[in-house]
Amino acid sequence: MPSASRPLDLTLDLIRAAHAGPVADDPAALTVMTDEELRPGLEEIVAGREGAALWVFAYGSLMWRPEFPVAERRLGTVRGFHRRFCLLQRRFRGTPERSGFVLALDRGGLCRGVAFRLPDAEIREALMPLWRREMRGRGYVARWLPVETDEGTVSALTFLANRANDRYAGRLPDEEIADRIALACGHAGPSAEYLYRTVEACEALGIRDRHLWRLQALVAARLRALT
């Protein structure tokens, strides 16, 4: 069972006080792929998997906003990759002038998250909305990875950092990441809100992530200094 969550230093009130005004969208800040451009990659990743159970591994925003139907969910662990704020966000939750960060899985360590099983459906139809959401910004590469759960290991679609893309920032110090997250806001909202929602989801599930926990405290301190 998930353990009791701890109170966060970072709060929605603090985030809203620091980012009170709306930010206009700037499509030029990040050109996204069309469905036609996305389909070949989707075809490649689903090749030969027709009829198999369809699992997706969530470690960031998919934990608290999956936006796809869920037939089953399990806590799970991916080995060989860890959760990290390493993808620059110049649109949606940031701007070119004040870019934020979103999470990706990067090499090394392990990651606790949630494995979601989608209901039985045609695999391309089921995955296209998720594929569009995660892959259109070219920040991720997709892989089928084993996810260890208490009910057994499942093969789940997992989104890793695309190290070849210019959005990949590598392993920056937490203090520098916190500086960017505290200041960044795009038309989809503040970067700090993305951090808050993810830490909140992890805490509710009993997932202890030192990187996220330290970042929320650092960002909270920076936001308090702004307000």
What residue ranges in 14-167 does DSSP mark as E strands? 55-58, 72-89, 100-117, 140-149, 152-161
> Residues 37, 43, 122, 134: which is the catalytic one?
134
pLDDT at 6: 81
Is the model's pLDDT at 181 over the cut of 50?
A: yes
Is residue 221 within a helix (H) or strand (E), and if so which, with residue range? helix 210-226
The count of other CB atoms within 10 Å of the CB of residue 13 is 9
pLDDT at 42: 97
The fold of the 12-226 domain, in CATH, is: Hypothetical upf0131 protein ytfp (3.10.490)
pLDDT digits (tens, 9 = 90+) for 129-140: 999 999 999 999
What DSSP character marks residue 165? S
Structure-block tokens of residue 10: 């970072």
Is the model's pLDDT at 55 over the cut of 90?
A: yes
Q: What is the mean pLDDT of residues 65-94?
A: 96
Is the model's pLDDT at 64 over the cut of 70?
A: yes
134 is catalytic: yes
Q: Are strands 185-186 and 152-161 parallel, antiparallel or unpaired?
A: unpaired
Average pLDDT, rounded, for the chain? 95
Is the model's pLDDT at 125 over the cut of 60?
A: yes
pLDDT at 1: 42
CA distance 54 to 130: 12
Backbone angles phi, psi at 119, to 5 degrees: -60, 155
